[in-house]
């Protein structure tokens, strides 16, 4: 976490949390969800549509700031610590999107490296990896490398229903829908 964020948290400890305004899609892209996007429907799941995703963030410095200050609370809700305020993230699929390197190591959408603990395929054929950082989806552009990791025996995926996998990992996909507890 950035030092400036820590300082802001100490200076203003009682800033209310923010829900519904930021989303993370299955490709590791951040989306800003203004009032109109939130009124248009959920970020992911039943009723989700392009309008309800909001606006794709493209400002490199803002994305880097979010990436550095991204984490989870004790309830499995993922957030971006924006100064003294926690901005809870609506997750399309999982809290991490993994990019694979040629040596089959992983790097998250935020640039963090991670060690593979287990590999799973859900009922839709999506490939998930659990690491010490948590659950993540393998990026669609890296499926050729993932297939090679499976074919060579580096990875041995187990089948697991998506809802069960998310539940076992304690991930809250929509803190806004869960309520602002």
- pLDDT tens, residue by residue, 107-162: 999 999 999 999 999 999 999 999 999 999 999 999 999 999 999 999 999 999 99
Dist CA 86 CA 12 (whole Å): 12
Dist CA 48 CA 34 (whole Å): 15
Work out the pLDDT band at 89, boundaries 50, 70, 90. Answer: very high
Average pLDDT of the chain, as a whole number: 93
pTM of the entire predicted model: 0.91
Domain extents for the chain?
Answer: 3-93+171-178, 96-168
* pLDDT at 179 (0 to 100): 66
Q: Answer whether CATH 3.10.540 is correct for domain 3-93+171-178.
A: yes
| Tokens read off for 125 | 């054929």
- Cα dihedral across residues 40, 42, 46, 50: positive or negative: positive
* pLDDT at 181 (0 to 100): 47
**pLDDT higher than 70, residue 13:** yes
> How far are the Cα atoms of 84, 113, 125 from residue 108, in angstroms, in the given order?
25, 6, 20
Dist CA 32 CA 89 (whole Å): 10
**pLDDT higher than 70, residue 180:** no
Report percent pLDDT > 70 for the chain. 97
């Amino acid at each position: 976490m950035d030092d400036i964020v820590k300082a802001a948290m100490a200076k203003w400890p009682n800033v209310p949390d923010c829900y519904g305004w930021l989303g993370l899609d299955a490709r590791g892209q951040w989306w800003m969800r203004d009032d109109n996007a939130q009124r248009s429907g959920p970020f992911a799941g039943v009723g989700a549509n392009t309008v309800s995703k909001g606006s794709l963030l493209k400002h490199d410095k803002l994305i880097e700031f979010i990436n550095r200050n991204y984490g989870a609370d004790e309830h499995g809700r993922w957030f971006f610590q924006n100064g003294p305020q926690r901005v809870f993230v609506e997750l399309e699929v999982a809290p991490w999107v993994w990019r694979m390197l040629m040596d089959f190591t992983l790097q998250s959408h935020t640039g963090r490296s991670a060690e593979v603990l287990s590999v799973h395929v859900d009922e839709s054929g999506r490939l998930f990896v659990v690491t010490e950082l948590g659950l993540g989806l393998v990026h669609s552009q890296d499926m050729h490398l993932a297939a090679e990791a499976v074919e060579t025996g580096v990875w041995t995926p187990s089948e697991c229903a998506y809802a069960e996998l998310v539940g076992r990992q304690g991930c809250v996909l929509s803190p806004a829908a869960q309520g602002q507890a």
